Structure 1
Amino acid sequence: MKTRTRIAAITAAGIVTAGVFAGTLALASDPPPMPGPGPGPGPGGMTMPRGGQRDGGCLGIPGVVDPSGTLTEVQRTTLAANAEEEKLAHDLYTAFADRYDLQIFDRIAAAETTHLDAVRTLMTRYGITDPTANQAPGRFTTPAVQATYDQLLAKGSGSQDAALEAGRTVETTDISLLRQSLDGLSAPDVQRVYSHLLTASQHHLTAFDRWLNR
């Protein structure tokens, strides 16, 4: 039905590369779409579509234009993990968009496509192998990521409201991971991408919160 992309979960020998998570999904009901502000710039310079944060918040991130820097081995591993994280979110929201008639999943999944593209650009710049390359929707290289995706998909497939809660879990975990990824990072291009991803996740979380807590 559509193509888009977002959560990876890997913890290795005390090095946080992405978060493994599992959450108990809550139930809510489906509210009608709410009017919001028209298109215009939002936080972080991202374009806000009509409907605003209620329906997903952002349409992606700018192209990677900042100069490259130096990454430690931990930061290189984290970058690859972020690629799987973006793919997980994209594939999960795409699956939910196919199952439920909610615009929020369409909008955020579309944003995830541009997010993954940006992370892939960085991996190419730094010569990092892309763990998402040639992986079918819902399939992941890292076993922990696969397990997380399968768990969230199963829970979110139970009801529309459980899918919204699964999305909230994804974005909450991602915000924490991106903040950790930015700590001690000096490469300008990676800093910029992570900062935009963080802003996007905050928009997405706000959208899920509004649907679940109306």
Structure 2
Amino acid sequence: MVKTEAFPTIRMKIDRLLKTTNEYQLNDLVKAVYCINLCINNRPVLESCLALNACLIEYEEKGSKRIGTYDEFKGFFGKIYDVMKPGIADDYTVEDFGEVQLRYNDKFYRVIIGTGHNNVYACLNFLPTLARNISREEELCLALEYVSGTIDYFIEENKNDGVVEKRFVLPTEILFYKVQKFFKEEVKKYDILELDSLMMSEGTTIEKAILYAGKIIFILCTMFLC
């Protein structure tokens, strides 16, 4: 059962979404969720994206429907739209995607700042010192390589369209098929299980576990394919 402190209505969204997500094969579902959450124009619907991630955690292995083509992806998107669309509690979020970079060991890594809440950029700049003090520099390097590498991989297909409003939109066909290629080829470059272990913690709320992962290494949906 997913725990939360910051999103009082997320349980209702998860329960509604599960009725749809459990109809699909897990491998296809992971890639569809990754694509939707990756899409820069969907940044404002944070609670909904976390709810969709939670459906992977609570997935029941019984679905047989496929999301292998863009038309099938559009069908899936249409089924979840009413649950995912922005509500009164959602705010517009700056749609950054690697424009800001973090310097570490004389290299620059693309990062995501998101809302800017909780002094995200300042905290990111403390990471090298913190990692050094607790002897976790190898793990930090692994996370930075992943987030910067994946941003570089998707940066041309995942651009802001200039619309400044909160919304939930269908990712483009180009981005959808780029995600398929990422899971087939690119993801093999990274130690996903090791990245997963950095985020695992018993009793952690979804906003701390998945939101943190989203800011540091996107969404660790990829763990389900390993």
TM-score, normalised to structure 1's length? 0.29
Q: Which has the larger radius of gyration?
A: 2
TM-score, normalised to structure 2's length? 0.28
